[in-house]
Amino acid sequence: MWPNVFWSARPVLLLAATSLTMLSACSPRGGVDLPTQVVARVGSSEISMLQFNLALKSVGVPTPGEPLRREVAAKLVDRELAVQQALANKLDRQPEVLLQLEEARRDVLARAYADQTAAAAAKPGDNEAARYFAQHPELFAERKIYRLREAALPGDMKELPEVRSRLANKQPLEQVLGWLREQKVPFNEQVVIRAAEQLPIESLPALNAAAEGQTVLFVSPRGVIAYKLLAVQPAGVSWDAARPIVRDYLARQSGKLAVEADMQHLRGTTRVMWQGDFAQLFSAPMATVQ
């Protein structure tokens, strides 16, 4: 599935509770203070500008305004107050908290390795971007915005062949879902508006060719999704508009492939011995959805 490269927003992340103390800079002209490198002093601790900038960056807004800056700074103060109370209550000595802290440290280190490996990967140029643009008209020149009835079904349901058969025989999706309710099959149903890049890329050729009222069934190892096309609106993207987006996407894909290749090498050169029930778990072939 192609990530949402046209629109992205990430929530403020909980940063590691490490206090970074910065010295305030002094102006050489008459002793006038330059803007401080400390955002706030909370009791005996300080919140540094580095911490604030890192939290602000995690929001994913390129040009944050004053309300967002205030909100992020206030959340950092609240976090520091909570950290101080946790330390006062000696919560950092509890086994579960110690484990979570170590897991957070390992996550940061693993991400740093992945970022370093991805950054070293070759960056695709305009030729590769133009080729991708031409190969995926459903994302660009023929891009559409879809209004869909979306039903997320269990990937391991034994009723999947019957669902396929009913849809192949042009039975309306609503009737198929009614039949699944009778079979006590759990599923989630909603009406959504999705741009092409917000849908599984493997489903786009069928959706792009579908007429209004038709249902497209998308099966993946993670589950089964039925899309009934309710309405569609053309929303093509030109090459000039798409070029930076495609180059960024291909660069991230190149970095992802570099990390996967390096991990494959590491798995092949590092001995891993599964223990207990996991030895049997990993000796069995992984099930796939047909």
pLDDT bucket at 36, cuts 50 / 70 / 90: low
pLDDT of residue 222: 77
- Residue 122 region, left (φ>0) first, then alpha (ψ -120 to 50), else beta? beta
Least confident of 11-15, 125-129, 246-250: 11-15
Q: What is the mean pLDDT of residues 213-225?
A: 87
pLDDT in tens, 154-211: 888 899 999 999 998 989 999 999 999 999 999 999 999 999 999 988 889 899 889 9
What CA–CA distance (Å, rounded) separates 227 from 286? 27
What percent of the chain lies above the pLDDT cut of 70? 86
| Higher pLDDT among residues 275 and 22, named by residue | 275
- Among candidate residues 247, 172, 250, 169, the one with its CA nearest the CA of residue 215: 172
Whether 50 and 20 have beta carbons less than 8 Å apart is answered as yes
Is residue 61 scored above 90 in pLDDT?
no
Q: What is the mean pLDDT of residues 211-238?
A: 91
| Higher pLDDT among residues 13 and 224, named by residue | 224
Is residue 34 scored above 70 in pLDDT?
no
> In Å, how far are 138, 141, 142, 189 from 202, measured between CA atoms?
11, 17, 15, 21
Is residue 18 scored above 70 in pLDDT?
no
pLDDT bucket at 5, cuts 50 / 70 / 90: very low
Is residue 95 scored above 50 in pLDDT?
yes
Count CB-CB contacts under 10 A for residue 136: 20
Least confident of 188-197, 260-269, 276-285: 276-285
DSSP states along 176-208: HHHHHHHTT---EEEEEEEEGGGS-GGGHHHHH
Least confident of 27-41, 99-113, 117-131, 201-215: 27-41
pLDDT of residue 286: 58
Is residue 24 scored above 80 in pLDDT?
no
What CA–CA distance (Å, rounded) separates 264 from 110? 15
Q: What is the mean pLDDT of residues 223-242?
A: 94
Residues, the chain: 290
Q: Where are the alpha helices (DSSP H) in the chain?
A: 49-59, 66-88, 95-119, 126-135, 160-168, 173-182, 204-209, 239-269, 277-283
Q: Are strands 223-234 and 144-153 parallel, antiparallel or unpaired?
A: antiparallel
Residue 45 buriedness (CB in 10 A; 0-12 / 13-18 / 19+): middle
pTM: 0.64
pLDDT of residue 285: 67
Q: Are strands 188-195 and 144-153 parallel, antiparallel or unpaired?
A: antiparallel
**CATH for 144-234 (3.30.70, 3.20.20, 3.10.50, 3.40.1710):** 3.10.50
What CA–CA distance (Å, rounded) separates 73 from 40? 8
What CA–CA distance (Å, rounded) separates 139 from 235? 9
